[in-house]
Amino acid sequence: MMRQVSSQVGSNGYTRVQLEQLTRMADQLNQFATSIASLQEGWSLTNLGLARSRSLTLTCPSLNGSRVQDGGHAVFPFDFAIRTCDSQCDDCQDLTTLLSDQAEALTGAYSLYSEAESRMSGILATVLVGPVRFNPLENIRTLAVMTLCTYLGDSLVKGHMVSLAEFLETTSPLHQDTILALSERLVPFSRSPIGHFSEWLSRAMPTSQRRLEVTPVRPGGDGLESAHCIDQALDNLQRLGSRDQGFSYDTIAVQKYRDADGDIRWVVYIPGTSSHPDSAIGWGQNLQLMSDRPGTRTQAASTRLVTEAMGMAGVAPVDRVSLVGHSQGGIVAATLASDMADRYRFEHVVTAGSPIGNHPIAPLTWTTSVEMQEELVSSLDARDNTERDHRLTVRGRDAGTTPAQANAPYSRQPVPFTKGTVESTHGMNYQRAAWQNALAKGSPKIIEQDEHFARSTRGDLVETTYYQGRLRD
């Protein structure tokens, strides 16, 4: 039976609560309560007006029981109207109290979550690195011991030696906080400990000094198809990375579109980290791309590969460019949109399983990030992605093999080519399923992102060119 994925909109998973969301909801409820209170006051004033009018008509013959000869005389039901006003006032009072109580409950819920999260983070930091605060080697040793103990404990509870995927699934709530706490102790007094630590490590791997050779290549199959929505773009990215295009080496794809007005648009696909030692998308480039220095990020061989491929394809500074990347490819996309926004017109960035929380992507560039809760890679930035206009994160989680209920058909999405056992969620199968599940739920923010990507790739596909990069001494 295939695995299932359930997604939500937001970068901070299923156990944290955003202050902005809760306070916004509480404010709206309080505003509604104020409006209802004003309505109650209106009913109360109407009641007083009716009572005053009733007192002025006490001398009316028809109201004191006397017979009236004029057949056109009508009697206003003051008593009924006054009782109605009283009832409406009571209903408004009850609704005002209910709304105010709900707003207070939301505020209290955030306080509880925030306090619990703060305590757990403090405990984690204390246990992990507190006793050895100023000794980096002891910090690493402590982390290794804790990881081993956690692994053995998880295996004991489950009754078998767990796989790496199972272990990462169990410890997923601790990934981000653990990485952040450790990096803060390894690189104290730094505004960007992950970036500073990556910069320090990248200096020991001088891959940026090697000569980059970029070569145009041809696909062995029909090539990638046009993409006018994010799911189609992720499908192209998956096909490019899975070698089913006949490429034996990691390849960049650049698609050219032309709309009815003659305007040119581009989509650049960037796969994940390669295992080839001479690849421009190798392991060492990850450290450079995670650096806190723009110069280091832009000099990474994978960044240079993409910019050279764009130049060879004919991408002009005035053209609209969308970037789609998986894992390291997503970090490259975020680097370009952060550090080269003055050279190219980046319209939309789509990342899958990429730690890009520390990259200052230009505010005008739309960003769609897909992550899985259980994977470690997307937590390596040790922070949540920035939540703002035009930037959205879809966070999926492995929901096991139980299918969605009949009354909630879109609550889960099957993951193709998976089995019942726990496996790595970093692959594109899970990333695509997470996006598809979020899209099926019909969130306005999801639809907005998808429509913007469609506008960014409007037009007919003219051509797709492919490029490979190798490092030479």
Print the SS3 string covering the chain: CCCEEEEEECCCCCCCCCHHHHHHHHHHHHHHHHHHHHHHHHHHHHHHHHHHHHHHCCCCCCCCCCCCCCCCCCCCCHHHHHHHHHHHHHHHHHHHHHHHHHHHHHHHHHHHHHHHHHHHHHHHHHHHHCCCCCCHHHHHHHHHHHHHHHHHHHHHHHCCCCCHHHHHHHCHHHHHHHHHHHHHHHCCCCCCHHHHHHHHHHCCCCHHHCEEEEEEECCCCCCCCCCCCHHHHHHHHHHHHCCCCCCCCCEEEEEEEECCCCCEEEEEEECCCCCCCCECCCHHHHHHHCCCCHHHHHCCHHHHHHHHHHHHHCCCCCCEEEEEEECHHHHHHHHHHHHCCCCCEEEEEEEECCCCCCCCCCCCCEEEEEEECCCCHHHCCCCCCCCECCEEEEEEEECCCCCCCCCCCCCCEECCCCCCCCCCCCCHHHHHHHHHHHHHCCCHHHHHHHHHHHHHCCCEEEEEEEEEEEEEC
Joined together, the tokens standing for residue 134 give 């100023």
With vertex at residue 417, the alpha carbon angle to CA 414 and CA 422, rounded to the nearest 5 degrees, is 75
pLDDT: which is higher, 124 or 432: 432
Q: Is the pLDDT of residue 135 over 70?
A: no
Least confident window among 44-48, 325-329, 380-384, 407-411: 407-411
d(CA 172, CA 415): 19
Least confident window among 4-8, 127-131, 297-301, 435-439: 127-131
Joined together, the tokens standing for residue 140 give 């690493």
d(CA 433, CA 428): 8
pLDDT category at 173 given cuts 50, 70, 90 is: low
- Structure confidence at residue 26 (pLDDT): 80
Q: Tell me the average pLDDT across 261-270.
A: 96
Q: Is the pLDDT of residue 129 over 60?
A: no
Q: Tell me the average pLDDT across 72-96.
A: 84
- Structure confidence at residue 195 (pLDDT): 84
pLDDT: which is higher, 124 or 472: 472
| Burial of 350 (C-beta count, 10 Å sphere; 0-12/13-18/19+) | buried
pLDDT category at 156 given cuts 50, 70, 90 is: low
- Structure confidence at residue 443 (pLDDT): 86
d(CA 214, CA 212): 6
Q: Is the pLDDT of residue 122 over 90?
A: no
CA atoms within 13 A on the CB side of 364: 9
d(CA 150, CA 171): 8
- Structure confidence at residue 421 (pLDDT): 61
Q: Is the pLDDT of residue 241 over 70?
A: yes
d(CA 129, CA 110): 28
**Beta strand pairing call for 211-217 and 4-9:** unpaired
Question: Do 303 and 294 form a contact (C-beta atoms < 8 A)?
Answer: no
Q: Tell me the average pLDDT across 88-114.
A: 81
- Structure confidence at residue 162 (pLDDT): 63
Question: How many Cβ atoms sit within 10 Å of the Cβ of residue 304?
Answer: 18
Q: Tell me the average pLDDT across 55-84.
A: 67
pLDDT category at 17 given cuts 50, 70, 90 is: very low
- Structure confidence at residue 323 (pLDDT): 98
- Structure confidence at residue 14 (pLDDT): 42
d(CA 377, CA 428): 13
Residues 6 or more apart whose CB falls under 8 angstroms from that of 38 comprise none
- Structure confidence at residue 110 (pLDDT): 63
- Structure confidence at residue 374 (pLDDT): 83
pLDDT: which is higher, 206 or 93: 93
- pLDDT single digits (tens) 174-199: 677 677 766 766 666 667 778 887 88
- pLDDT single digits (tens) 423-462: 678 989 999 999 999 999 888 999 999 999 999 999 999 9
- pLDDT single digits (tens) 22-33: 667 888 888 888
- Structure confidence at residue 10 (pLDDT): 72
- Structure confidence at residue 158 (pLDDT): 59
pLDDT: which is higher, 225 or 170: 225
Question: Do 334 and 348 form a contact (C-beta atoms < 8 A)?
Answer: no
d(CA 111, CA 94): 26
Which region holds residue 302: left if phi is over 0, alpha if psi is between -120 and 50, else beta? alpha
pLDDT category at 273 given cuts 50, 70, 90 is: very high
User: Over the chain, what is the mean pLDDT?
Assistant: 81
Q: Is the pLDDT of residue 106 over 80?
A: no
- The structure's pTM equals 0.72
pLDDT: which is higher, 93 or 114: 93
- Structure confidence at residue 262 (pLDDT): 93
